[in-house]
Structure 1
Amino acid sequence: MPRVLSIAGTDPTGGAGIQADLKAISANGGYGMAVVTSLVAQNTRGVRSIHLPPASFLREQLDAVSDDVTIDAVKIGMLANEEVIIEVAAWLRRIRPPIVVLDPVMVATSGDRLLDERAEAAVRELLAEVDIVTPNLPELAVLAECPVAVTWPEAISQARVVSARHGVIVLAKGGHLGGAESPDALVDDAGRLSGGRHLVEFAQERVATTNTHGTGCSLSSALATRQARLGDWVAALAVAKEWLTDSLRHSDELDIGQGNGPVHHFATLWRAAEASAGAATATGTRMPHRRR
């Protein structure tokens, strides 16, 4: 079972941030751990305020985990400011986890930039310490220092720029483009994808739901977990996407919040458990009786 560490902010409603990361890691067969970068007062309708603990306490959290537990993969989410980014980068250089996935939280749903210019520059420098970055289209534009892509070919082009410039694999995501399709693509200028490929595209029909809160957090955490299990980015993303699509399709079964609700992280597992219980009931299977 991969031991996967999430370094991110919180979400009290459980749909995004560290809470979503831990659910996604567990649902994909990993043991989840968490280091908190920021305490976020948010719900399904938006963010109200953010509290940043001292960077020294962040360092203590990171060291407490890595001094004791072997870490198989790291997922990084909200980092908030330059000081936090520098602290995480220094820890990565010291510990050298075998897998590092960065989901760069840089642009709010409203389109507002969440980081100042110095922090954005620090995120670009952080790319040297990670294996793969998973931005949405506005965040990809910030990393590429370009206007936001409005077509899928533009998104692929920007991903190629980021991969070539920073030596990192890029997961380009087309969810912000709208329309019936929601494509994704792995882009690697160095050709490190399976078969020596530089580009692998994944076609995907858009799931008709407004319950998309925390999808970026969840996908990146699932990807980190699956990569630790499979050792192949293409295969890992294929399985992670299949899981996320199922979680989106069943998200309406939840009744969480009045805004954009979360995905149903455990839909697949719960259905399997119910099917198993139903089969046991149908065949008259009983649990073993334990002698007193």
Structure 2
Amino acid sequence: MARKSGGGGKNVVKPRGPSDSQVLKTRSLDELIVSHQKSSHMEVISRSHPIFQEIENVVDHDDLIAQSGEKNFVEKEVVQFDFEDIKEEVEFWNSAIVCYVMAANPPIHVMEGFFHRIWKNLKVDKVAMIHKGVFIVRFSTMENRDKVLSGHFFFDNKPLILKPWVADMDFMKEDLRSVPVWIQLKLNIKYWGEKALFKIVEQIGKPIQRDEATKKQDKIQFARVLVKVSLSEKFIDQAVFVNEYGDKMEVEVKYEWKPVTCEKDNWHEDVGVTESVPKGIEVDPDGFQRALRPIKVRVSQTK
């Protein structure tokens, strides 16, 4: 009989490691992990889907609203006023005027003192600045307001532009076509009467009034007349007339204040065209040149 090999024979050592069945089990576990990750990712997507679906539904709803013309907001009611709502304020300011100095922007404290001084007998109730250079002055009565509007007033020889306050007025300085200006004429005193004097100054502008010194002949150096001059025409330097003997006469016209003239385009500007002004002529920041030394005169007004 053949003899079974004993322990003395060479043993075959099998390598350690997982068996085939164990390898299969390990691979199955890896696949399970990968499968689990995929299923989790799909679950996140599936859970997010309703959000995207909701957004799509909203977009679709807005499209339907836009197509149907339906408003997707509640429109608030527009506030509307009637005259009764503003009646009290309108009645309060009806006795006021709006005014400004041509080609100047004096501060409020200066103008407040000026108004109280020149209208001290007319019961100035309130002075306020609407915006730079434009003021509103309220009087206690409509009668006093009308007295002021009937006159002509000047600040530093510059015309004070006056307008009655109205509820819907524009408070900006307007583009003026003409302004009142004091002029001086060295004339024989026989021409100082209103009829003769106004005839002479009509070639300069529309005569408004003589000053008190000229009326009463208190000063005979020159006749002083207030004339409304057009800003679109050249300011003449000589007035010409034929006297009662048929002789041609010329008299120099001196403007107490006048706008700077643009010689190139023959127009006047109240904000400072300085390049055409001859050397030695003083021009203020507002574009006016001093024609004469300032003189003290009474406040004038037409009644």
Same fold, judged at TM 0.5 (above): no
- Bigger radius of gyration, 1 or 2? 2
Greater per-residue strand proportion: 2
* TM-score normalised by length of structure 2: 0.25
* TM-score normalised by length of structure 1: 0.26
